[in-house]
Amino acid sequence: MAEPSSEEPSPLDKVFPASPNSAVHNNNTTTVNHNNTRNRRVQLERSSSSIQFPASAMALAHKSKTSSNLLTGRCLSSSNCSSTTRRVSLPSTEDPTWVGEDRCMEYGTPPPIEEPHCYSMCLSESSFSEESSCAVQINRDYLKGLLVEHTRTLGCRLLVVEELEAGKLDLASADKYLEGCKKPQELNALLLYASFLGFGELIPIVHNHGADLNHSEPELGMTALHLCAFSNCLSGVRYLLGHNVHVGSKKAHTPYHFAAFGNAIDVAKFFAQLGWSQESPLGEETVLHAAARNNALDVLRLLAPKNPTLNRLDSAGYAAIHYAAERGDSGCLKVLLAAGCLVNVSTRKGETALHLSAEAGCAESLELLLAKGANPAVRNRRGQTALHLAARTHSLECVEALLQHSRSEPNAEDHDGRTPLHVALGRSLLAYDVTEMLISWKAQVNKPDKYGYTPLHVAALNELSQCVDILIQHGADLSAKTKGGTSALSIILRKTPSSLNCFKQRLDASISMHQHGSAAGEVELRLDFHPLLQHQQQGEIGYLGTFVKEGYKEILEHPLCQSFLHLKWQKIRKYYVGRLLFYLLYVLVLTAWVITALAHNCYNESHGQLDNSSRPLCANSTGLNGFLYRHPVVLEVEWYALVVLTVLEGLRKLMGILTYSTVRQFFTQAENMVEWCVIVSVFATSFVYTGRTYTWQSHVGAFAVLCGWSNLMLMIGQLPMFGAYVAMFTSVQAQVFKLLLAYACLLVGFTASFCVIFPRSKSFSSPHTGLIKVLVMMTGELDFEELFFPGEEEGGRPVDVGGTSWILLQVSAQLSFVLFLLFVTIVLMNLLVGIAVHDIKGLQKTAGLAKLVRQTKLICDLETALFLGLLPQCLMKVLRWTALVLPSPLKAVLTVRPLNPREKRLPRDVLAGAYKVARERKGNLLNSTLSSKRSNNSTIYGYQKFDLNASVRRRTNMNEEPATTLEEAARLKEEVAELRKICESNNLLIQELVKSFTFGK
């Protein structure tokens, strides 16, 4: 698929172009075909920055283009333009100050474009484009322009034409005026123009002065007979035919066609009486087609009855009914249907009249076709029904008329998998109304097309916030992803973030409060988890996992999400605890092997592989090492047990790769790399290769043990109860490393200085040991006496105490030491402590949200690993009943009692949050109801108070409201009575409690 150029429209503009309803069709507009050329529609080529042009702009562009004679000449002079699409370029709306791409610098990689490149296609591949040929839209002004240009070409004076049009040339002065005209050019031009104006009485006079009655305009081949037929000049037609003018035409249209172009009913009747053929000389179209295409209602009434060409397709593949439906002329359509035209006849491209009416947005024609039996399920060559085209043009009346038809399918898919809801979400003011209409008729809001784009993707890409809101309200999947991996939530966060409030409102509405009517009745909360579980392609927790991945973490603090996470963790935590115990056993066995077999060299000593230079460590031991020395089989069993555990851990990690979208993503995780280092290190410390172990294996084993225990710490940190502490450790660790990197030069400088000042000190004998000593000194272990009072001898050489060099060395050493004490031990270390404390305080503020995020990620990983589908079916059923909160999706409502202290199923803070949400929501509903009642009552009262003289109007207003007012009053009375009973019962209960309390004392 070709990449779109910088001049092409944006992908969504091609998929969802501007509504064709904005095109203005003139009843006098006609189309002239030349040498098998026709274009039934003008394509609008828009820039990528434009969204939608108003109807007036498109109409002006259309008119200016059709009246351009030069472009007309080019279009008509081409003899092979059957596949050329003529486009009208609208004025560019680009910013003139915008810098071109040739002047832009290349810096870094830009972020990916959210727009679906899969929708970028050329016009010939687009679902809504037509392969059409070159055509010229003409009307009376256009014909006038052609004649004026022809007059100029002949070298004639335009003053003659202007005076003729102004009526200055009458019959009395015609002979005298025509004698001054040039022969024969001006006479021929004057003949054509008089015929065009319908001045039939001037034609004989011009003819008598030498005008050629067969003279024709070269572009369209128009003779005086053609123009008289167009202007309905019957006297001129009779005169011309009486002088044996050439009736045949070398062009596409005959005078009979021109009579249809101008809706000349008198001339058409005359031609019909003469029995003229309605066929085109070049086989283009019949007179009936020309009349239907130009809304010539009178001519159509004359020709349609019993016309043999009624259902014939012309060279463009259209029948007469198609032109009438496309132009939106219900009058012409009624005439054709009354004449017996087939209502479901298709064009060469598979479109019926119903398709064309829907695309034109003509509801009257569409209803007329449906009433006559048009089939709304018929598809065109792109697989689109009439509902697709009506939804694309945002014609609400057409969409409603089609949906009310029993055979119309609101979820019909075209060849690209798009439904009417997909194509309705274009950039238009009526997009919301059409979307709401389709959803009310059960249109699927989560149906993806063949590229994976759901209606929610398209609405968010077009920044249609209202459409995004209504889609979310009706259960649109925020986690739905395209084939390119773009989720709808990621687009909403960038384009219409305010729409996420609708999802929060859905969660609020899922928490309802109910209180029993009795005095002792407890408050109950019903938590409906359906909004979190309706999209379970990624498991029960996958929906919340998408929120975390896309950065919308705040939603986890909602009481409904917290409740579900708590219940999910209660179900699935046993599997994670099992994983922790397994890894703990694995690390313990690894540690035992490294300490006994490698560090204490028990394997080599027990198998007689002791080096002569090394002292035995295991043979002289009496504890566990001695036991292993006497029983070497235990060491081998320990090794093979470690191998089995390592293989199991490796298989678990290999299956874990399947839970990631790419292999690269798996290996970029630090935890996975640490675990693989441990696994590889186990096989690197084996004795099976040479029958013994080596010293370097001890060092490898030491790092493996460190990595294993560190990874176990991170795994424990994923538990909700320990997560905050591990998060503090990792955060402070990162800050400390950054700070040390920033002050690394200072530490290296002190290291080099101490190596120069204390060359005889063992700690500063080399730079690398000196750097380690400086890091140790940062913690407070300065070893002041060892550095400044080493004794009389150091390193076997006498020290000249009291000499000049010794004194200078002591001064420089003390100065460097004091500077180190101030800059590093005091300033730098306190800075590290302050940063650690600051980070800890910041983590404590966000500890709740961070805990929920870690818990969500952990549950997602566990659930994905458990339900990979690699286990037998029987085990999968067991997992479903033991790991899922709701094995049955029908039971997704939890009822709790938040004020009951014995309610232990949810944490108290979660219950308090849910109770607060339900109480606020109920209070808001009550306030809105009361405010509406007050507004109604105040309206009536104010009307009566300030309009006492208008008694008639007052009575009318009061008569309109009585039923509603009485019903509300009765309901309020019942509520007050119920509240009074509850208060009385509470008073009795309090009195009994007081009596029992006083009696007890």
SS3 2: coil
The 10s digit of each residue's pLDDT in 308-356 is: 888 899 888 899 999 999 888 889 999 999 999 999 999 998 899 999 9
Higher pLDDT, 329 or 5: 329
Element (DSSP H or E) covering residue 589: helix 559-593
- 3-class secondary structure, 597: helix
Per-residue pLDDT at 775 exceeds 90: no
Q: What is the pLDDT of residue 619?
A: 67
Q: Which of 163-167, 177-181, 385-389 is the least confident region? A: 177-181
At 52-62, the pLDDT tens digits run: 333 333 333 33
> Considering only CA atoms, which of 393, 383, 307 is closest in space to residue 356?
393
> Is residue 33's pLDDT more than 60?
no
- The architecture CATH gives domain 135-277: Alpha Horseshoe (1.25)
CA distance 449 to 443: 14
Return phi, psi of residue 753, to 5°.
-65, -45
Task: Give φ, ψ of 452 to 5 degrees.
Answer: 90, 5
Q: Is the pLDDT of residue 792 over 60?
A: no
Highest mean pLDDT among 201-215, 585-599, 727-741, 976-990: 585-599
**Extended strands (E) in 890-984:** 893-896
The radius of gyration of the chain's CA atoms, rounded to the nearest angstrom, is 45
Q: How confident is the model at residue 383 (pLDDT cuts 50, 70, 90)?
A: very high
Q: Are 355 and 389 in contact (CB under 8 A)?
A: yes
Mean pLDDT of 883-890: 67
Between CA 892 and CA 533 the distance in angstroms is: 8
Higher pLDDT, 396 or 808: 396
**Above 60 in pLDDT, residue 96?**
no
Of 45-49, 396-400, 470-474, the one with minimum mean pLDDT is: 45-49
Segment 14-25 mean pLDDT: 38
The pLDDT value given to residue 560: 92
In percent, the amount of the chain with pLDDT more than 90 equals 21
Q: How, if at all, do strands 136-138 and 511-515 pair?
A: unpaired
- In this structure, what token pair is assigned to residue 629? 């020395």
Distance CA 672, CA 675 (A): 5
pLDDT, tens only, 405-442: 878 899 999 999 999 999 999 888 899 999 999 999 99
Q: Give the count of beta carbons closer than 10 Å to the beta carbon of residue 251.
A: 24
DSSP state of 596: I
- Give me the pLDDT at residue 59, please: 35
Cα separation of 157 and 190, whole Å?
10
Q: What is the model's pLDDT at position 493?
A: 92
| 524 φ/ψ angles, rounded to the nearest 5 degrees | -120, 140
The predicted pLDDT at position 266 comes to: 92
* Average pLDDT rounded to a whole number, residues 988-992: 80
Q: What pLDDT is attached to residue 799?
A: 53
Measure the CA–CA gap between 767 and 493, rounded to whole angstroms. 53
* pLDDT score recorded for residue 956: 39
Of 190-194, 270-274, 610-614, give the lowest mean pLDDT range: 610-614
Are β-strands 43-45 and 30-32 bridged in parallel, bridged antiparallel, or unpaired? unpaired
pLDDT of 793 over the 70 cut = no
pLDDT of residue 117: 46
Position 397 scores a pLDDT of 92
DSSP state of 521: P
Q: Which residue has the higher pLDDT, 475 or 729?
A: 475
Distance CA 209, CA 431 (A): 64
pLDDT at position 745 over 80: yes
| Count of C-beta atoms within a 10 Å radius of residue 657 | 13
- 458 confidence band (pLDDT: 50, 70, 90): very high
Question: Residue 453 above 90 pLDDT?
Answer: yes
Q: What is the pLDDT of residue 456?
A: 94
Provide the b/e sequence for 87-97 (b: ≥16 CB within 10 Å): ebebeeeeeee
Quick one: average pLDDT of 144-150? Answer: 86
**What mean pLDDT is predicted for residues 693-703?**
88
Q: Residue 862's closest CA among 587, 565, 628?
A: 565
Q: Is 664 exposed, middle or buried, given 0-12, 13-18 or 19+ CB atoms closer than 10 A?
A: exposed
Torsion of CA 933, 935, 936, 939, to 10 degrees: 160
Bond prior to 184 in cis (omega within 30° of 0): yes
Burial class (CB in 10 A: 0-12, 13-18, 19+), 897: middle
* Mean pLDDT of the region 463-468: 92
Spatial CA neighbour of 116 closest among 19, 4, 5: 4
Residue 611: band (very low, low, confident or very high) from pLDDT cuts 50, 70, 90: low
For 169, counting Cβ atoms within 10 Å of its Cβ (0-12 exposed, 13-18 middle, 19+ buried), the class is buried
Name the amino acid, one letter, at 969. A
Highest mean pLDDT among 27-31, 114-118, 338-342, 858-862: 338-342
Q: Can you tell me the distance from the alpha carbon of 883 to that of 753, in angstroms, rounded to the nearest whole number?
A: 62
At which residue do the structure tokens 């000196």 appear? Answer: 770
User: 22 with 120: CB under 8 angstroms?
Assistant: no
Neighbour tally for 499: CB within 10 Å: 24
| Nearest-10 crossing angle of helices 69-77, 140-153 | 80
Report residue 96 as tokens: 């003139």
Q: Say which range, 27-31, 781-785, 888-892, has the weakest mean pLDDT.
A: 27-31
Q: What is the arithmetic mean of pLDDT over 503-516?
A: 86
Assess whether pLDDT exceeds 60 at residue 804. yes
Per-residue pLDDT band at 582 (split at 50, 70, 90): very high
Query: For the chain, what is the mean pLDDT?
Result: 76
CA distance 442 to 444: 6
- pLDDT, residue 364, reads 92
Segment 157-182 shows an average pLDDT of 66
Residue with tokens 């009994």: 992
Strand partners, 511: 527
Q: Determine the straight-line distance between the first and last CA of the chain, rounded to whole angstroms.
A: 92
pLDDT band at 459 (very low <50, low <70, confident <90, very high): very high
- Whether residue 90 is predicted with pLDDT greater than 60 in this model: the reply is no
Better-predicted residue by pLDDT, 829 or 842: 829
743 against 924, higher pLDDT = 743
Q: CB neighbours (10 Å) of residue 134? A: 21
Q: Name the strands in the sheet holding 511-515, side by side, starting at the edge strand that comes first in the sequence.
A: 511-515, 523-528, 893-896
The DSSP symbol for 199 reads: -
| Domain ranges for the chain | 135-277, 576-718
More confident residue, 631 or 279: 279
Task: Tabulate helix, strand, coil % of the chain (nearest 5).
Answer: 60, 5, 40
Burial of 453-473, coded b for 16+ CB within 10 Å and e otherwise, reads: bbbbbbbbbbebbebbbbbbb
Least confident window among 210-219, 860-869, 882-891: 882-891
Q: How many CA atoms lie within 13 A of 722 on its CB side?
A: 10
Q: What is the pLDDT of residue 798?
A: 53
Could you list the beta-strand ranges (E) of 665-792.
none
* pLDDT for the residue numbered 400: 92
- pLDDT for 784: 75
Q: Quick one: average pLDDT of 71-93?
A: 34
pLDDT of residue 125: 36
Q: Kindly state the DSSP code that residue 339 receives in the 8-state scheme.
A: T
Question: H-type helices in 275-375, by residue range?
Answer: 287-293, 297-303, 320-327, 330-338, 353-360, 363-371
Collapse the DSSP code of 88 into the 3-class scheme (helix H, G, I; strand E, B; otherwise coil) and give the result.
Answer: strand
Percent of the chain scoring above 70 in pLDDT: 73
Q: Rounded CA gap, 412 and 388, in Å? A: 8
935 phi and psi angles, rounded to 5 deg: -65, -40
Burial pattern 929-951, b for ≥16 Cβ within 10 A else e, equals eeeebeeeeeebeeeeeeeeeee
Mean pLDDT of 728-747: 83
Angle ∠(113,118,121) on CA atoms, nearest 5: 110
The mean-pLDDT minimum among 76-85, 406-415, 564-573 falls in 76-85
Tokens, residue 164: 């003729």
Per-residue confidence (pLDDT) for residue 13, from 0 to 100: 42
Q: What is the pLDDT of residue 48?
A: 32
pLDDT of residue 322: 92
Give backbone dihedrals phi and psi of 429, rounded to 5 degrees, phi first: -70, -20
Note the maximum CA span of the chain: 146
- Cα dihedral sign for 60, 61, 62, 65? positive
Task: Look at residue 816 and tell me whether its pLDDT is greater than 80.
Answer: yes
DSSP letter, residue 595: I
List, in sequence order, every residue forming a beta bridge with 137; answer none if it has no partner: 31
pLDDT classification of 155: cutoffs 50, 70, 90: confident
Q: What is the DSSP pairing of strand 793-794 with strand 797-798?
A: antiparallel
Q: Report residue 124 as tokens.
A: 């010939």
Q: Does residue 450 surpass a pLDDT of 80?
A: yes
